[in-house]
Amino acid sequence: MPGPDLVYGFRVRIGTEGRPGGGPGGHSEPGSAPRFAVRGTHVPVHDGTAYPLWSGTAVTLGRPPVLVADGQVRLLLAGELYNRAELTGALGGSSAALGDAELLLAAWRRWGPGAFRLLNGRFAALLTDASTGATVAATDHAGSVPLWLRADVTGLSAATEAKTLAHEPGRPLGLSGTHTAPGAAGVCRVPAGTALLLHGVGGSDITARAVRTWTPPLSRALPGEREAVDLVGERLATAVRTRLRGGEAAPTVVLSGGIDSGGVAAHTAALAPGTRSVSMGTEVSDEFDAARSVAVHLGTAHSEIRLHSAELVRELPWAVAAAEITDPTVLEYLLPLVALYRRLDTGPLRILTGYGADIPLGGMHRRTASLWSLDDEIAGDMAGFDGLNEMSPVLAGIAGKWTIHPYWDRAVLDALVSLEPGLKRRRGTDKWVLRQALSGLLPAETVARPKLGIHEGSGTTSAWTGLLLAEGIRRDEVTAVKGAMARRLYDAVVIDTVPPEDVDFGETVRRSVDAVRRLRLQGRVVV
């Protein structure tokens, strides 16, 4: 059963001295390997033939090229590109036969840093060009593959998981707008849609210049209804098509039964015979009937996974280890996905989801009072998505799988965000333009079905709350305890790199409650 063939994580060192290891707890120990959350094949990354030196570890699915070279240029690409046709058309020659990493290297040769403004993909990239002395650390437009950096006087460490850098000595790069990893001094994240051009790596005067490669559009377009519907339908279809690779096993679609996942499932099933779909729920809540209706309509091989709500909440250590965040609200969104991925068939799978459509379409703000308010909420959400890791590949990589999110394709986002808000809420219907674009592909009841978030459909929010109430926590303490739990779990599985299965969940709850109550006794405000 062939699956994705790509690099989907790494931790490498570039500079005058290599650090090939990174042992338990993130410490650099010769001959040891960093502790990644993603599961795959660990491949050494090493090039000592020319300055700067490369050393480290990549995590792969299949057998992709890892460190590719052309003359004095070295490149490591985690992830994949989706606008290969446009790139190969512009580069010409035999570029169509190149792998994604080699194609990016050829683009660098032609366009330099501007190459990253041409890419539509899901990736983190690290490049050195000895001819110019430049080191480049870049993310895709959405920052969907996190890329963390730490610098010192002998070089630069870069990783797709902050936990692998948490205990290395180093200093922050001093760039405004970069996120830092809580509890890991000096570890900063490359912003979404950014290529950092670094000079002086391996010295005391490292400099960094941020080249923005994409920003969410703030201007709005005024197409007619038919033009807008056709545009959204065509962009979504293209995004799904370019994410399906020949020679792999049939893809899997996470199917809730709503318009977002249903749209991805419809396009996938039309392109890939044997497409599988899967839904997940608990005894608290599920959307099985709605998902089953879509699966029957599309002819997908459908399955259902049901967890007890207490079992779902106990997936929190894995969700925190994967997302590397402390925001309990976002963790509630991600928790059912992590639980589902960990229960899918073994073996590498390409998984498509409808996650993220609500952000550019304002689906979470269907009760806002005016179109202006809706548009302002969308602009705020698009300005604040970076660093939440909602689409990090580690969420599925923790189970050895690869996920993709067609609604966050660059061209799809450009189209959805820029539409005037009256096309997103029209005639009292939320996400109107998407519903119209999919009206001929899905059952009528699916197209008209009201929005329900994945955390609502699986009962995650109420399940977590219910677990805490059952432990004797007062209702007015629940929000604060959730926040304390998220931070305590983060410190354990990210900073101390404790394996999620070794976390004492009950002790985490008890210590979090104690911490919240101590703050109350001290008269400090708990939010």
Name the catalytic one among 8, 333, 355, 407. Answer: 355
3-state secondary structure of 187: coil
3-state secondary structure of 454: helix
CB of 58 closer than 8 Å to CB of 9: yes
Which of 265, 456, 432 lies closest to 362, judged by CA?
A: 432
DSSP code at position 219: S
Helix axes 478-490, 505-521, angle to 10 degrees: 120
Give the integer Cα–Cα distance in Å for 498 and 489.
9
Using DSSP, how many helices (H) and how many strands (E) does the chain show? 18, 20
- First-to-last alpha carbon distance for the chain, in angstroms, is 49
Q: Indicate if 8 belongs to the active site.
A: no
CB of 121 closer than 8 Å to CB of 80: yes
Give the integer Cα–Cα distance in Å for 431 and 442.
15
CB of 74 closer than 8 Å to CB of 125: no
Q: Indicate if 451 belongs to the active site.
A: yes
CB of 374 closer than 8 Å to CB of 362: yes
Q: Indicate if 163 belongs to the active site.
A: no
- 270, 271, 276, 280 alpha-carbon torsion, rounded to 10°: -70
- How far is residue 465 CA from its own chain's centroid? 26
SS (H, E, C) 239-288: HHHHHCCCCCCCCEEECCCCHHHHHHHHHHHHHCCCCEEEEEEECCCCCH
Which of 426, 335, 405, 417 lies closest to 378, judged by CA?
A: 417
Which residue bears the tokens 């990253």?
116
CB of 287 closer than 8 Å to CB of 454: no
Name the catalytic one among 390, 407, 431, 477. Answer: 390
- How far is residue 288 CA from its own chain's centroid? 26
Name the catalytic one among 29, 234, 451, 456. Answer: 451
Token pair listed for 385: 């998505």
Which of 188, 232, 183, 221 lies closest to 25, judged by CA?
A: 183
Give bridge partners of residue 316 from the DSSP assignment: none
DSSP code at position 52: S
Give the integer Cα–Cα distance in Å for 122 and 408.
9
Give bridge partners of residue 123 from the DSSP assignment: 79
The torsion angles phi and psi of 378, rounded to 5 degrees, stand at: -65, -45
Alpha-carbon Rg for the chain in angstroms: 23
CB of 29 closer than 8 Å to CB of 21: yes
Burial of 245 (C-beta count, 10 Å sphere; 0-12/13-18/19+): middle
CB of 431 closer than 8 Å to CB of 451: yes
Residues annotated catalytic, as ranges: 355, 390, 451
